[in-house]
Structure 1
Amino acid sequence: MAFIVRITDVLLLLWRPRLLRPYVGLWWQRLVRTPYSARRTFEMARALKATGQVFRELVYGETPLLTALLFLKRAGVGPGSRVVDLGAGRGRVLIAAAWLKAEAHGVELIPDHVARVAPWLTPAGITLTVGDMTREPLTGFTHVFTNWVAFTPETKERLIANLRTCQPGTRIVTVTRPIQAEGFVGHTYRWMLFTWGGEKVWIQEYRPAGP
């Protein structure tokens, strides 16, 4: 499966040659060193304590580039869109957003990971910064992507509060489950393929009730 994903990714990136180098760089950094493994580090423990998250929330899977392109396209991402990935991990969704000619920005918790990965993304106009997704300013974005299913109820509650700072009409993409809270409407989903199997990918809009 991993081999098929890599081949498909590269074939898609031949249409956007400027994104090939960032993609290869991310893959290389994953081979050399990744914080997203089954081991705790001092840096990771400190970051988790500062944000109130737990270790299992840092589990990441691979999102095939084709899958990311499909769900972003379905959410209406294109030229003029501003996409933020809350918990950008290995950056596949950011590359997909850039492929669609949108502005792409990612937020990640672990400084060492950002320091290693961000320089590969910057030449393609993609930004990745250290931050807490539950506090990241979201007012300027048209689309938000977040894993969602991996988070604890406490983290989800804080994230929902932050998502309510989005502009009305902002589209939010989540994996496996929708955001079931007041102000998040128009829930639709499609089954899509990830490296670990099929999952529902949900699209919803933030539409707060009027005064």
Structure 2
Amino acid sequence: MKEPVPPPGREKDDSLEDLDLPLLQAVALQVSVLAIALFTRLLDVLVLCVRPWLLRPYLGIWLAEWMHSPYRPRRTFEVTRVLRESGQGFRELIYGETPLFTAVRLFRRAGVGRGSRVVDVGAGRGRVLLAARWLGAEARGVELLVDHVASVAGQLRPAGITLTVGDATREELGDASHVFSNWTALGPETKARLVERFRACRPGTRFIVVTRPIEGRGFVTLSTHRMLFTWGFETVWVQEYRPEPV
């Protein structure tokens, strides 16, 4: 018995369906990312209702993200130049951000509170630092991109947050009680340089790192947590620096 002959043009339709599949997947991914972004923004605002004095700088950061993106074509050259001078790669800028409510939960579990001094290395526009202030801690961040700092530093200052331009691998961290780093976004060479910088911290300094722990002698894992970020769920490691006796 002969196989039924497909109608004219059917073979072409099947190939088009195959070509449309990656496009549909890309659209679905974009929709899910947008949904997560809106959901995290809503939760952030609800958390800030408890500390309304932090709402204005938070909204200022949000506006700056739209008005001063470093990824627009006219700014790409400057971004590339800065990264090359610091020895870092462009991949270290393309990740999402840590929602405020996630940072508050993480910092609480890491023991952040009044009297703590939190430093965010690679702070972006300082959203994580708002979580430190929410808990009553001192907050300081260092960021490589001038645009990030210039667009929000003035709005963060009244909230008690210091955000400066600088290379995290050369930042002075001796006064920190807690150091936050989005370890996801860093290349191997940058991580190695940061670990050497972290060894200058005082014994007992705690580190909150995303996705991977700090690998090296003296960095002891206290706990791990599964948390929501703007790109999805990630594991976060809370570690403490305990240098071995000489």
TM-score (norm 2): 0.82
Distance in 1 between residues matched to 2:72 and 2:192, nearest whole Å: 26
Q: Which of 208, 221, 227 in structure 2 is aligned with 1:186?
A: 221
CA RMSD of aligned residues (A): 1.5
Q: Please state if 1:30 is matched with 2:65.
A: yes
Residues 183, 37 of structure 1: alpha-carbon distance in 2 compared, 3 angstrom cutoff? farther
Give 2:175's aligned amino acid: G
Counterpart of 1:99?
Answer: 134
Q: Which runs of 5+ in 1 are unaligned?
A: none
Query: TM-score under structure 1 normalisation?
Result: 0.95
* Structure 2 residue aligned with 1:197: 232
**Please, which runs of 5 or more residues in structure 2 have no aligned partner?**
1-35
Residue 111 (structure 2) aligned to one of 76, 81, 88: 76
Matched AA of 1:182: R
**Greater helix share, 1 or 2?**
2
1:36-75 equivalent positions in 2, closer than 5 A = 36=71, 41-75=76-110
State the 1:3 CA deviation: 2.1
Spell out structure 1 runs of 4+ moving beyond 6 A.
Answer: none
Aligned length: 211
Shift of 1:89: 1.2
1:110 is matched with 145
Partner of 2:52: 17
CA contact (8 A) 1:175 1:200 kept: yes
1:188 Cα deviation from its structure 2 partner = 2.0
Q: 1:2 to 1:149 in 2, by over 3 A?
A: closer
Measured after TM superposition, the shift of residue 2 of structure 1 is 2.1
2: CA distance, partners of 1:197 / 1:7 = 16
Name whichever of 33-42 and 158-167 sits farther off.
33-42
Q: Please tell me whether Structure 1 or Structure 2 has the larger radius of gyration of its CA atoms.
A: 2
